[in-house]
């Protein structure tokens, strides 16, 4: 119930203005978002690197409605990649990109061209790009764009969402040599026709997908905070004889930091998904939807206005 309220809130422009204008909401934001600009993101990336953690930086913003906005997002990423290289943070730091932010809803070809420019900048900086997964209406288009990008930039990463019924098949298709695949549960409100609805069914699907990826020839990126799934992934990595560098764990910035440290200390490669930027509202609402218990934090922030 609370979960669906947060999903509804994610699409409410009125609530967005209210939350953004509440000074105390910045406290919650800073738990999950590294800063407003590339400078602050770089600082957070360096701190994580000092702790032995790789990062995937993401510039927040899904509300791209014009060509100019899409180009501004592209330029932000290209500049960021240059700065990461100069700061000596690549190749450990890569970037994650949402095609919607690059104009996918306006013109798929333009989004592809923008993504291509980012992949080229990443290649020049000696690092990679991963294409985030968004709502199921975009899955086909995103995977098609991925395949096109991989012709020239084979290390471009895919994201597959275990809650989608189609994902086992996608795992099989993408489980090939050199293929980087992030497996997550999925963060959008999706209908029963395309997505498993119960937590148990999503978890079972996650394990089936994990088995395919870990036994395959690609590079699995295990993105979850779920202790049971992390334990299963550790087991599968051992079972399928994958050594460090043949898979990685991924967790979100600000979530289960002690687990991030434990995994890194245990010899696993760990990457932190590191968002920054001023358009944090939709991202924050999806994080709160995952932990409805945190509703009190939001209520406190709003009541302090």
Is residue 99 a contact residue for ligand FAD (CB under 6 A)? no
> Alpha-carbon distance 100 to 138, whole Å?
9
- Distance in Å, CB of 203 to ligand FAD, minimum: 8
In the complex with ligand FAD, which residue's Cβ is closer, 90 or 224? 224
- Burial pattern 234-254, b for ≥16 Cβ within 10 A else e, equals bebbeeeebeeeebbbbbbbb
Question: Per-residue x/- marks for ligand FAD, 135-164, CB under 6 A?
Answer: ------------------------x-x---
List the one residue from 97, 209, 233, 252 that touches ligand FAD (CB under 6 A): 252
299: phi > 0 → left, psi -120 to 50 → alpha, else beta; which? alpha
Is residue 256 a contact residue for ligand FAD (CB under 6 A)? yes
List the one residue from 62, 94, 132, 170 that touches ligand FAD (CB under 6 A): 132
In the complex with ligand FAD, which residue's Cβ is closer, 173 or 226? 226
Q: Which of 116, 132, 203, 271 is catalytic?
A: 132
How would DSSP label each residue in the chain?
A: -HHHHHHHHHT-HHHHHHHHH-TTHHHHHHHH---SSHHHHHHHHHHHHHTT-EEEEEE------SHHHHHHHHHHHHHHHHHHHHTT-TTTEEEEE-GGGGTTTT-HHHHHHHHHHHHHHHHHTT--EEE----GGGHHHHHHHHHHHHHH-TT-BEEEETTBTTHHHHHHHH-STT-EEEEE---S---TTTB--SHHHHHHHHHHHHHHHHHSSSEEEEE---HHHHHHHHHHHHHTT--TTS-EEEEETTS-HHHHHHHHHTT--EEEEEEESS--HHHHHHHHHH-GGGHHHHHHHHHT-
- Distance in Å, CB of 177 to ligand FAD, minimum: 23
Is residue 133 a contact residue for ligand FAD (CB under 6 A)? yes
Q: Which of 85, 105, 182, 287 is catalytic?
A: 182
In the complex with ligand FAD, which residue's Cβ is closer, 18 or 297? 297
- Distance in Å, CB of 273 to ligand FAD, minimum: 4
Q: Is 236 a catalytic residue?
A: no
Is residue 250 a contact residue for ligand FAD (CB under 6 A)? yes
- Distance in Å, CB of 163 to ligand FAD, minimum: 8
Considering only residues 169 to 228 of the shown chain, the ones binding ligand FAD according to CB under 6 A are 184-188, 223-227
Q: Is 132 a catalytic residue?
A: yes
Please work out the total of residues on this chain that contact ligand FAD, with binding judged by CB under 6 A.
Answer: 22
In the complex with ligand FAD, which residue's Cβ is closer, 108 or 226? 226
> Alpha-carbon distance 98 to 188, whole Å?
14
- Distance in Å, CB of 21 to ligand FAD, minimum: 25
Considering only residues 101 to 130 of the shown chain, the ones binding ligand FAD according to CB under 6 A are none
In the complex with ligand FAD, which residue's Cβ is closer, 212 or 230? 230
| Contacts with ligand FAD, residue ranges (CB under 6 A) | 132-133, 159, 161, 184-188, 223-227, 250-252, 255-256, 273, 290-291
Any idea which residues carry the catalytic annotation?
132, 182
């Amino acid at each position: 119930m609370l979960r669906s309220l947060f999903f509804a809130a994610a699409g409410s422009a009125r609530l967005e203005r209210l939350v953004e204008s509440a000074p105390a909401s910045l406290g919650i934001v800073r738990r999950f978002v590294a800063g407003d600009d590339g400078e602050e993101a770089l600082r957070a990336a360096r701190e994580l690197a000092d702790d032995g953690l790789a990062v995937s930086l993401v510039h927040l913003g899904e509300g791209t409605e014009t060509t100019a906005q899409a180009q501004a997002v592209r330029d932000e990423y290209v500049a960021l990649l240059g700065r990461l290289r100069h700061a000596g943070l690549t190749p450990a730091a890569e970037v994650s990109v949402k095609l919607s932010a690059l104009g996918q809803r306006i013109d798929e070809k333009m989004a592809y061209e923008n993504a291509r420019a980012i992949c080229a900048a990443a290649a020049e900086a000696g690092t990679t790009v991963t294409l985030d997964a968004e709502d199921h209406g975009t899955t086909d288009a995103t995977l098609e764009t991925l395949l096109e990008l991989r012709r020239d930039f084979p290390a471009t990463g895919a994201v597959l969402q275990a809650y989608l019924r189609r994902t086992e098949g996608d795992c099989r298709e993408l489980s090939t040599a050199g293929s980087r695949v992030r497996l997550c549960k999925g963060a959008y409100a999706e209908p029963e026709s395309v997505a498993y609805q119960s937590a148990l069914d999503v978890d079972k699907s996650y394990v089936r997908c994990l088995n395919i990826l870990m036994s395959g020839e690609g590079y699995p990126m295990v993105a979850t905070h779920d202790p049971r799934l992390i334990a299963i992934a550790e087991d599968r990595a051992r079972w399928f004889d994958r050594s460090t560098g043949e898979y990685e764990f991924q967790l979100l910035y600000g979530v289960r930091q002690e687990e991030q440290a434990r995994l890194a200390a245990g010899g696993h490669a760990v990457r932190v998904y590191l968002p920054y930027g001023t358009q944090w509202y939709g991202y924050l609402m999806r994080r709160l939807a995952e932990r409805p218990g945190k509703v009190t934090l939001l209520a406190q922030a709003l009541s302090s206005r």
